[in-house]
Amino acid sequence: MDRLRKRRDFLAAAKALRAGTAPFLMQGRDRGDADGMRVGFTVTKKTGNAVVRNRIRRRLREVARKVLPEAGRPGFDYVLVAREAALRTPFETLVRDLERALRKLDAPARPKSDAKRDPGGKRDPGPGRGRPERNRTPDGRKAAAQGAGGPDKGPRPAPAAAQTHDLTDSTSTDPSRRPPTEALRHD
């Protein structure tokens, strides 16, 4: 079993089939040749420092060495993208997760059902899902806004005008009626 080393091989696998588990994401691509399978590992800095990343990589490498020779398909490239849980997950669980991910990749793709599509080509979201139709015109466009109060309440009333005081009258003896600069002056 060879290792993936070139970036273009990792990118090609990322565009192909995927199967996710809690400790890792598995990507698989059929190269179209009969050569042996290849495997690559991706452990990002998001999972931890170099010591943690290397521990995760060693665990995944050992799981792949145990499972892929029996369950993997020749001519495939597999990439294991590690998640943080790969460090804490028991080894036997990692083995089961890799076997399950391989079965997902090998399963034929399910065709998308056209039963839930309407003639316009839009998918019916089902009961209680999707956008409410009350804000749409009969031709499907968004209806004009009905005011800031919402569709059921009507327009909101304007806020009451704040009381304003004429602060320019400096002849007033009341200190609260004087402009702020004069209120601080001591004559």
Angle subtended by helix axes 50-71 and 91-106, to nearest 10: 50
Q: Which helix (H) or strand (E) holds 56?
A: helix 50-71
* pLDDT of 100: 93
Beta-bridged to residue 18, according to DSSP, are: 27
CATH architecture of 2-106: 2-Layer Sandwich (3.30)
Type of residue found at 66: K
What's the pTM? 0.57
Instruction: Output phi, psi for 12, to 5 deg.
Output: -65, -40
Q: Of the ranges 87-91, 127-131, 142-146, which one carries the lowest mean pLDDT score? A: 127-131
